[in-house]
Amino acid sequence: MDKHEEMAALAILIHDLRKHKKVTLNELAERIGRSVGFLSQVERGLSRPTVADLTAISEALDVPTTYFYNLPRPKALDWVTRPDERRTLYFAGGITDIMASPTLQGAFTLLESLLEPGASSGERQMSDRSEQGGYVLEGQLTLWLGEDESGATLHAGDAFQVPSYARLRYANLGDTPTRVLWIYT
């Protein structure tokens, strides 16, 4: 799938989940603090949500964020993934997430995030029901956790772990691309 097909698939997932949960567009927009127009564009595949937007949508609709990675991809083995078998989401703000786990049925999920220089999860902090951790493979990642305005900048080889429902945002403030392996419970 190319970027446009992936965006259309994500749009359908969000729309169908919202309808299934019997939540109106207005209600969801209010819950996530975004305009109805923006949410309508996301559901029609015309705009990409930020990571923070998708996390807020998942919380508002009571599903884990990883729900949106659950589109099946063809796999030779059900316990292994190859690069061409992985589900990819392209976010606004210069972030691409690649689901590395072969299944979402286990106790944890592996996700590779690619952040362009200047990429950000969004201006608002997000809170995910999953405990999460990460390992910076390349580049640098700045994390802001809770009320800490100064943040922490991690470099290749650094790791982090944050509890469930921790308020978090992140960005690549460097001038080279960043790759992070995220682990979600």
Q: Is the pLDDT of residue 73 over 60?
A: no
Q: Give the per-residue pLDDT at 55.
A: 92
Q: 73 near 87, Cβ under 8 Å? A: yes
Q: Are residues 65 and 108 in the same domain?
A: no
Q: 105 near 111, Cβ under 8 Å? A: no
Instruction: Read off the pLDDT of each residue in 75-100 and give the average, rounded to a whole number.
Output: 84
Which of 22, 39, 69 terminates a domain? The answer is 69
Q: What is the CATH number of the domain that holds 139?
A: 2.60.120.10
Tokens representing 55?
């996390």
Q: 66 near 55, Cβ under 8 Å? A: no
Please give the Cα distance from 69 to 54 (Å, whole number). 11
Lowest-confidence pick of 73-77, 95-99, 159-163, 166-170: 73-77
Q: Give the per-residue pLDDT at 71.
A: 56
Q: Are residues 64 and 137 in the same domain?
A: no
Residue-range definition of the domain harbouring residue 175: 83-184
Q: Are residues 55 and 123 in the same domain?
A: no
